[in-house]
Amino acid sequence: MRTTMPLNGNAPDQGLIFNIQKFSLHDGPGIRTTVFMKGCPLRCEWCCNPESVKIHPEIMLFDMRCIKCGQCIAACPKGAITIVDEKKIINWEKCDQCQKCAEVCPSGGIETIGKYISCDELVKEIEKDRQFYNSSGGGVTFSGGEPLLQWEFVLAMLKRCKAKNIHTCLDTTGYASWEILEKIIPYVDLVLYDIKHLDADCHRERTVVDNQLILENLAKVVQKTMVWLRIPLIPGYNDSRDHLKKVGKFASALGVAKISLLPYHCWGEQKYDQLGRVYSAKGVLPPGEEDMEKYKEYLRGIGVVVAIGR
């Protein structure tokens, strides 16, 4: 049974973000400002930004900054924080994410991840880098998480950016109703569209959602604007020659402009501990450069444009 996202969202004049990355070179053409929206309906086991998943602010630990002052312990109304052997311990089952520990922490040993920002504030931040966009053919990219979870805010921002002649890019899983995407796409110059797996069961097993809606939306989006298909390559999951050839033929038939191969990496593994979560992809080894070139050749043989890393 297909699962769809409801046509709803947050207030259009305020969004919840967890990062604004300046001078980004891997989220579309040129030099870009990437706005990372908080919240995602998928639960990819290899996600390198686990702080992006939940659609509310949450605390994150940075032990190297902790000065063991004990202010967080005194501030926590649930008694969820202790210091044992010079190490701060949080009982995540007790923690209700009230943020009071982060509010009193003087050193950044505990931080709140996720902040609300208005359209006016974000437009001002984006416009600071206009000279780089103009000189490099860059612009702004809305990423996540899944930006379509906050579609009303993203739509408002896209309209503001287009009115200022800033190139716009949407980095998405495509997991939203077509009604939402149909409103968004007219204001998007380029879509970075993630494909994890073509097989529905394999997709659901490692992301918890079905891929039928994702594939249906992709076929429609390609007809409306330019699409770069992004494949996060996870060893032992979606990197077989057979699967990559299927993806290549699928992309070629749709008329996708380019396929971007994104090698799995484990740089975000530490974040899971910092958020009190378990990293399910532990032990998976990143593909080497030779492997990536091999995957690239598989797809080039089909006649599609392929890039590694962007």
Q: What is the pLDDT of residues 37-76, one digit of tens each?
A: 999 999 999 999 999 999 999 999 999 999 999 999 999 9
pLDDT, residue 11, reads: 62
- CA–CA gap between residue 43 and residue 210 (Å, rounded): 11
Mean pLDDT of all residues belonging to the chain: 93
Q: Give the predicted TM-score (pTM) of the model.
A: 0.93
pLDDT > 60? residue 117: yes
Instruction: Give the tokens for residue 296.
Output: 């690239």
Q: Give the per-residue pLDDT at 107.
A: 95
Q: What is the arithmetic mean of pLDDT over 135-141?
A: 97
96: left (phi over 0), alpha (psi -120 to 50) or beta: alpha
Domains of the chain (ranges plus CATH)? 14-55+117-308 (3.20.20.70), 58-113 (3.30.70.20)
- C-alpha–C-alpha distance, residues 34 and 19, integer Å: 8
pLDDT above 60 for 164: yes
Beta carbons of 38 and 22 less than 8 angstroms apart: no
Percent of the chain with pLDDT over 90: 87
> What are the Cα distances from residue 203, in Å, to 137, 165, 194, 211, 219?
34, 37, 12, 6, 18
